Amino acid sequence: MNKQLYIKEIQALFDDVQRSRIFEDQKMMTDAVPVFPVAEINDEYEKRKGTEGFDLRDFVMTHFDFLGAKVSVQREDRLPIGEHIEKLWDELTRDAYEEKGTLLKLPKPYIVPGGRFNEFFYWDSYFIMLGLQVSGRTEMMENIVENCSYLIQNVGFVPNASRTHFLSRSQPPYFSLMLELLFDTAGDETIYTRYHDTLEKEYAFWMNGEEWLDHGSSVKRITKTTDGDLLNRYYDAENAPRPESYLIDIEDRESAGNEEFYRNIRSACESGWDFSSRWFADGEHIQSIEILNIAEVDLNCLLWHLENTLAKSSALQDMREKENYFTERAAKRRQMINKYFWDENTRIYKDYHIKKNTKTPSEHIAALYPLFLGIADQEQAEGVANAVAEKFLYQGGLVTTTKNSGQQWDFPNAWAPYQWLGFKAMKNYGFDELAEKIKHNWCSNVERVYKNTGKLMEKYNALDTETIAGGGEYPNQDGFGWTNGVYLTLKQN
């Protein structure tokens, strides 16, 4: 069986299962593992469906295993939060030494986010590593890096998560930051040289197609502006409903009237922000999603870091030509970040609309990236810091956008990654008081919810700290990898 085609090989059954809503969560069927050869399951299904007394749910439960029950760790003897997280690292550890259903095999154990997310996720893993560093679990940090490298070497990139139906997209490229974090932990410079080839392969994935571009055109993850400058965007190779949200996508597509609707939805998943008004043409409705028309400030900052890291790893190996090449690329991208994403009027970084040649209206917390990575100048940093204090920081932490659309990556939700980015960004430019406030507000929120529920959540409500966060396609999940990681590292800093 070709693992990459697995869901397509059971497409008729899969389609019927998802459309019949026999599972509350559509991810259930994508994670199911066939217990008989797929051809046999298909034959049996064709024979039996529509016959008297046939029960689709019973058929599925008989022919598939549903491995990896949800991780929900709630103890009567409520441990202090730090001790609880230490126990969670072990309970969130998985391995996949062979492929099962849609699950990709990986060479090393890893940490899963928790709840319905029972596989290796790309950008989550960086924020998990921050906590592993505090916990002294260097070997698991190394495992995460090794798994990412394995995927880049074998697939060409790190998929959104380690399942076959994510092989058409990645997630925010954090691999170079993972290496930096591992170097800061272990102090071993050979980390950069050992993974140089992996860094180059990931860079080639994000830059694939640049030689085909005319001014004002886009291909895959890269766009050339009318001025002839290169910027990157999020993209997915497929234009079809997501298996894990199959029926939701089909229903949303019916009212969208956009031939690239599915690809836009999938591309937003590559950004990690699925979903947000940040991507909506009308700022309100998912049917107006147009992420393919947008070059993002966060992605371009992360690729600047990748270029910088490639220059560094080239220098360590005396590869002068490559060092010069990546140094020049990073310098050029730094200029482009300030040319295309800095908004002089609102004094904040925004995304860039490729077709309209203008900034997008959405004000969002990804404006932190140029400060987190040290790309902004002091004056720009001051503008962002003012916006953070006035528009984004609430009693329970930093919100993602200023718009309440009902989507989970919008106001009033506070997500762990941006609390760390916010704290570090403010520290980098001397806004220590604001950094401490971000840390205090969010950590207090996490502690309050833990005290009340015994759980660490995927996201938090920053505005109403009496309420658990909501919005999105599924209920708020507990576990939760990146919350655990960011909480531990903030408490130590």
Q: Which helix (H) or strand (E) holds 230?
A: strand 230-232
What are the sequence ranges of the domains in the chain?
7-65, 246-292, 362-492
Phi, psi (degrees; rounded to nearest 5) at 362: -60, 130
Q: Is residue 458 annotated as part of the catalytic site, yes or no?
A: yes
Coil, strand or helix: which one is 270? helix
Whole-angstrom Cα distance, residue 117 to residue 161?
Answer: 9
Measure the CA–CA gap between 244 and 269, rounded to whole angstroms.
Answer: 12
CA 233/CA 119 separation, integer angstroms: 25
Helix axes 175-186, 122-134, angle to 10 degrees: 10
Question: What distances in angstroms separate CA 355 from CA 70, 281, 359, 471, one per listed residue?
Answer: 43, 12, 11, 30
pTM, 2 dp: 0.97
Walk along the chain (493 residues) and give the pLDDT tens digit of each residue: 345 567 989 999 999 999 999 999 999 999 999 999 999 999 999 999 999 999 999 999 999 998 755 555 555 568 999 999 999 999 999 999 999 999 999 999 999 999 999 999 999 999 999 999 999 999 999 999 999 999 999 999 999 999 999 999 999 999 999 999 999 999 998 999 999 999 999 999 999 999 999 999 999 999 999 999 999 999 999 999 999 999 999 999 999 989 999 999 999 999 999 999 999 999 999 999 999 999 999 999 999 999 999 999 999 999 999 999 999 999 999 999 999 999 999 999 999 999 999 999 999 999 999 999 999 999 999 999 999 999 999 999 999 999 999 999 999 999 999 999 999 999 999 999 999 999 999 999 999 999 999 999 999 999 987 777 777 788 888 899 999 999 999 999 9
Beta-sheet pairing, 222-224 with 217-219:
antiparallel
Of residues 236, 274, 296, 307, which has the active-site annotation?
274
Q: Single out the residue of 281, 319, 301 nearest to residue 366, CA to CA.
A: 301
**Cα(297)–Cα(229) distance, rounded to whole angstroms?**
14
List 117's β-bridge partners, or say none. 114
DSSP line for 411-459: TTEEEHHHHHHHHHHHHHTT-HHHHHHHHHHHHHHHHHHHHHHS--BSE
